[in-house]
Each structure stands twice: as C-alpha cells, then as structure tokens.
Amino acid sequence: MLNAGGTFRTSRRFAFVFEVWLLDPMMMSHNVPDFQLMGGPGIRYFRKINRVTAKNGAGAKTFDFQLMHFPGTDGPTFYPMFGASQKF
C-alpha cells in the first residue's frame, strides 16, 4: 500500500486537501499491474480557538469534508466523509 496526500492553503481559514491510497501496487493481473485507488479531494476549514501567534494553524479546530472513492464499487462512485480535529 502506498499513501500520498497534499494540502493547499487557499486562505487563512480554508485549504484544499487530497489523499490517495494505492492498494496492492505489486498485484499483477495477466502481467499488467492491477491498480486499485482509494481516496479523493476535499476541503478543510480552520477555526481559531485560542490566541497563538504562530500562523501555521496552531490552536485551531479543523473540520474536513472529503469525497472518497472506494475500490470495488461500480462506476465512479464517491462517498462524502466528514471529520474534525483540534490542535492543542
């Protein structure tokens, strides 16, 4: 399994995120790699919760919305995923 992701900060409060997992990259089907991808794009919202002078998102609650694609589903099906986290 191989995991890659990225975050592009668009403003003080928003960022675009993307994650992808490559499942069984060495699995071969008829001498052709059988790639299975899982992941998708999303958006992240930062909400300041305390007075930290660092401008790297420290002291922020984050809320994520991401559209995830799971292998084994018929066609290009994306499922909405929600998440939240808090930095000190």
Average pLDDT, the chain: 79
pLDDT above 70 (res 7) = yes
Q: Residue 57 pLDDT > 80, yes or no?
A: no
Indicate the pLDDT class of residue 16, thresholds 50, 70 and 90. very high
59: left (phi over 0), alpha (psi -120 to 50) or beta: left
36 has a pLDDT exceeding 90: no
**Cβ(44)–Cβ(64) under 8 Å?**
yes
Instruction: State mean pLDDT over 58-85.
Output: 82
Would the pTM of this model clear 0.85, i.e. be above it? Answer: no
